[in-house]
A and B are shown apart, each in its own frame.
Chain A
Amino acid sequence: MNFGKNIGVERSERSRQAASGASHIEDLALEQTLKNFRMSVVAWSDAAYSRPRTVTQTVRRRSWRLVAGGALGCALLAGGVAGVGYERHQRQEAARIAAARVVEQQRLVREQQNLLREEQAKAEDEDLLSKVDSDVSREVPSAMEPLAQLMAENERQ
């Protein structure tokens, strides 16, 4: 029983040692990584610290950028305003053309209607005249009636 207990203790001791060994290795790895990190920062900082200074150039470049940015902004603004104006003008022009077209179409329709009306009136006049002509040609004055009857009898014989 005691023997078994000892084995258990030994096992737990071994696993504890193994765990502590693993964490030690982990710590060593972390230590090495942090050392590398430090070396990296130092190298980067040294390179950045000893680089040639370009203060004037930077300032100039920045001011040039500012000027260019301002000019670009102004150009964009002017372009935008001009675009809006041009678009409005275009719209007005299109509306004016459309209105003129409508007026023209209305005028043409009116002309056609007038022509039709005139033709109809002419046709009606002609019909009336021809009817009058035929009526006049068939009717005989009462004084001539006996003669007309004779003519009709002769024709029958």
Chain B
Amino acid sequence: MAAGAALEPMTRATAEEIAARNLEAATDEFTLVVERHRPQVFRFLLASTRDVDLAETLTQECFLKAHRNWGSFRGESSAMTWLMRIAINLQKDHWRNRRMQFWRHTQTNSVDMEDAGEWLPSGESSVERQLLAREQVSHVWAAVKGLSERQRTVFLLRYVEEQELSEIARATGLSEGTVKAHLSRAVTKVRTELGRQQ
């Protein structure tokens, strides 16, 4: 009994220490996740919105939400897939709010498709080829703009983030078959847009 009483404060201290250590470890872990995935999440949101400021704001919101729910992340999917899921939902909420409160932002900060196409690294051999590549990229942007929200998300996750269909399905909450169908329609639209250019 006496021994038990003596042990009690020590046990409590150990539990607190463990909790503190766990919290520290979780913070370190989350810091690593932010460092590793932040550029990727930002890139996806930038490609989806074509608005640098908005993409930054949504990226910050995404990681804030992820930080709040980090404890509930059970690792069933990769951290990247989990973050993408949050980013996709935030983006959806944003467009929904924007539609409801369109009078708040009368003008969009979205970059023009041709300006977005200007960001092609000069890896092409000749000036003509570079110009052609830029033009093609602009046409892809035009096609992406015309895609539905889901088609755009699936298309960008596949061809910009180079994710597997299964990963896309997990991130979007759709079945693999639906992802395939959306992707196929998106690619057809891109192909048609490129065909119009020729």
Contacts and interface: CB of A to CB of B under 8 A. Distances in A.
Interface string B28-64: 0000000000010011001100001101000000000
A45 B42 contact: yes
Interface stretch (A29-37, A104-112, A118-126): A29-37
A40 B194 contact: no
Contact of A45 (B43, B141, B162, B194): B43
A44 interface: yes
A47 interface: yes
B63 to A, nearest CB: 14
A39 B120 contact: yes
B160 interface: yes
A44 B46 contact: yes
Interface residues of B, number: 27
A41 B46 contact: yes
Size category of the A interface is 20 to 34
B47 A45 contact: yes
A45 B116 contact: no
A48 interface: yes
A38 interface: yes
B160 A38 contact: yes
A95 interface: no
Nearest to A53: B56
A36 B120 contact: yes
Given A37-B159, A37-B160, A38-B162, 20 more contacts: A30-B187, A33-B140, A33-B194, A34-B159, A36-B120, A36-B133, A36-B137, A40-B120, A41-B43, A41-B47, A41-B119, A42-B43, A43-B119, A43-B121, A44-B46, A45-B39, A45-B43, A45-B47, A48-B46, A48-B55
Interface of B: 39, 42-43, 46-47, 52-53, 55, 116-117, 119-121, 123, 133, 136-137, 139-141, 159-160, 162, 187, 190-191, 194
